[in-house]
């Protein structure tokens, strides 16, 4: 090969290498983001009441109980019909093992097939990896207990879009506080949100607080905030101008998917107000 040919081969090899790396990076990102959505789909499927019950009763190993019980409400399958009562019975024997202080790693999986066992182990890993339900880890966004319902997915603007958050109602001027540590990414006015604050949490999620009456004047873009920091006060700015004062609170995953904040709010609310 002469020098010219060698250079051409070298350039082609480099370009091929770059393409392969770029394609792999995209694929990795795609698969990873898909997994992120699935993981949160699982977290969202947990009943906050059940979660709080086990957190209070078994502070040391509530994740074990929730992971096992999640098999009865498996979000990854639509088939809940087959031998549910038999499966219930097996689940009960596992719960009994946990109640007699058996470690999760030492569980005797009698009656549970390998697929189901692997699902329980996966649920347990997700609960370990994501801290969003850990007691006292996150705060509640409204200083005084508000009224709120699960309205995620409800129609907005005559079906043109869906409600991608939770509305928390209280008096105008009620303090709005940050649920987590993070960095301010969006601040000030937009058409729908009115006066709004968007925070990139240290967990990677985007936390969105909208319709504020006033924004804390000490905030600025890229500023760090801590859990419990004052963001502003409740109002009805933006497209909430015809509705009662409320905070619209949203959680967007790093992959752009808005998840339902309702179950997390229920858990955070309990820990925020439990001593009152």
CB of 88 to Zn ion, least distance (A): 38
Binding flag, residue 248, Zn ion (CB under 5 A) = yes
Binding flag, residue 63, Zn ion (CB under 5 A) = no
Number of Cβ atoms within 10 Å of the Cβ of 119: 19
Closest CA to 238 of 264, 262, 265, 209: 209
CB of 154 to Zn ion, least distance (A): 9
Kindly tell me which of 62 and 264 has the beta carbon lying closer to Zn ion. Answer: 264
Among the listed ranges 3-11, 36-44, 67-75, 244-252, the one in contact with Zn ion (CB under 5 A) is 244-252
Query: Does residue 29 sit in helix, strand or coil?
Result: helix
Closest residue to Zn ion using C-beta atoms? 248
Closest CA to 186 of 162, 164, 215: 215
CB of 163 to Zn ion, least distance (A): 6
Kindly tell me which of 51 and 168 has the beta carbon lying closer to Zn ion. Answer: 168
Single out the residue of 36, 64, 123, 167 in contact with Zn ion (rule: CB under 5 A). 167
CB of 111 to Zn ion, least distance (A): 45
CB of 151 to Zn ion, least distance (A): 7
In angstroms, the CA 144 to CA 254 distance is 29
Kindly tell me which of 63 and 248 has the beta carbon lying closer to Zn ion. Answer: 248
CB of 64 to Zn ion, least distance (A): 36
Angle at 48 between CA 84 and CA 257, to 5 degrees: 95
Kindly tell me which of 169 and 271 has the beta carbon lying closer to Zn ion. Answer: 169
Q: CA separation (Å) from 160 to 167, 189, 205, 209, 213?
A: 19, 22, 25, 22, 26
In angstroms, the CA 108 to CA 58 distance is 20
Binding flag, residue 64, Zn ion (CB under 5 A) = no
The two tokens of residue 78 are 């639509």
Question: Residues interacting with Zn ion, by CB under 5 A?
Answer: 167, 248
């Amino acid at each position: 090969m002469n020098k010219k040919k060698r250079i051409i081969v070298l350039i082609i090899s480099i370009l091929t290498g770059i393409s392969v790396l770029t394609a792999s990076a995209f694929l990795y990102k795609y698969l990873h983001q898909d997994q992120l959505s699935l993981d949160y789909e699982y977290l969202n499927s947990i009943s906050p009441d059940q979660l709080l019950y086990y957190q209070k009763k078994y502070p040391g190993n509530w994740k074990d109980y929730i992971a096992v019980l999640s098999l009865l409400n498996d979000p990854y399958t639509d088939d809940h019909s087959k031998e549910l009562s038999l499966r219930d019975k097996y689940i009960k024997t596992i719960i009994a093992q946990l109640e007699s202080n058996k470690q999760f790693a030492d569980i005797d999986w009698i009656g549970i097939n390998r697929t189901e066992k692997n699902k329980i182990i996966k649920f347990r890993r997700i609960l370990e990896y994501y801290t969003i339900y850990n007691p006292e880890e996150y705060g509640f966004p409204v200083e005084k207990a508000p009224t709120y319902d699960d309205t995620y997915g409800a129609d907005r603007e005559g079906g043109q879009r869906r409600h991608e958050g939770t509305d928390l109602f209280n008096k105008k001027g009620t303090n709005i506080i940050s649920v987590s540590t993070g960095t301010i990414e969006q601040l000030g006015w937009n058409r729908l949100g009115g006066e709004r604050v968007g925070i990139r949490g240290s967990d990677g999620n985007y936390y969105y607080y909208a319709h504020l009456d006033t924004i804390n004047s000490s905030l600025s873009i890229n500023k760090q905030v801590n859990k419990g920091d004052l963001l502003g006060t409740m109002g009805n700015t933006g497209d909430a101008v015809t509705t009662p004062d409320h905070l619209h609170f949203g959680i967007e995953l790093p992959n752009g998917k808005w998840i339902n904040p309702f179950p997390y709010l229920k858990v955070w609310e309990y820990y925020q107000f439990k001593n009152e």
